[in-house]
Amino acid sequence: MTKEELKEYCEAEFKNISKVADELFPMVSPEKTKYTVAELAAVSAFVVNIYIGIEGILRQMLMFDGLDVTDSPVWHEKVLKKAGEIGILPPDLFQTLSRYLAFRNRFVYSYVFNIKWEELKVLVDAVKDVLARFRAEVEEYIQTI
């Protein structure tokens, strides 16, 4: 993969992430404190989709650097950890994204009716900031390669 191909991949993923975010935000309301199980499932799926897009970008960046991120039972954790170790992600953003990964794992391996709005709301409220910070880190990375 060339630098230009990586840049195009990242831009395509950011467009996909934006589409998901455009669906997510109309579903949540600051005044609303109770959501149905179906609404929680939808909001959760959108949050997980956003994280999956972020993870895909990180994976491509690591592969571009020649780092081993082959499929394994722990590849999700490996991608995030490597991105933090080599400085693609600053420590605070790494910690924030770790919470999204933990939620992704919980969503995949748990029943949706066990998800609590109070826990999900923290992730939803941070999405815009996380995406802006992540995009800035990706752009900086691409400029340095």
User: DSSP secondary-structure letter at 26?
Assistant: G
> What's the one-letter identity of residue 116?
K
> What's the one-letter identity of residue 136?
A
The pTM score is: 0.94
| Three-state SS annotation for 43-107 | HHHHHHHHHHHHHHHHHHHHHHCCCCCCCCCCHHHHHHHHHHHCCCCCHHHHHHHHHHHHHHHHH
User: Could you tell me the two tokens for 143?
Assistant: 């400029």
| pLDDT tens figures, 108-133 | 999 999 999 999 999 999 999 999 99
Q: Are 101 and 77 in contact (CB under 8 A)?
A: yes
Q: 103-108 long-range contacts, Cβ below 8 Å, gap at least 24?
A: 103/44, 103/47, 103/48, 103/51, 104/48, 104/51, 104/52, 104/76, 105/76, 107/44, 107/45, 107/47, 107/48, 108/48
What CATH number belongs to 3-144?
Answer: 1.20.120.330
User: Could you tell me the two tokens for 20?
Assistant: 């998901």
| pLDDT tens figures, 28-85 | 998 898 999 999 999 999 999 999 999 999 999 999 999 888 777 788 999 999 999 9
Give residue limits of the domains in the chain: 3-144
| pLDDT tens figures, 63-78 | 999 988 877 778 899 9
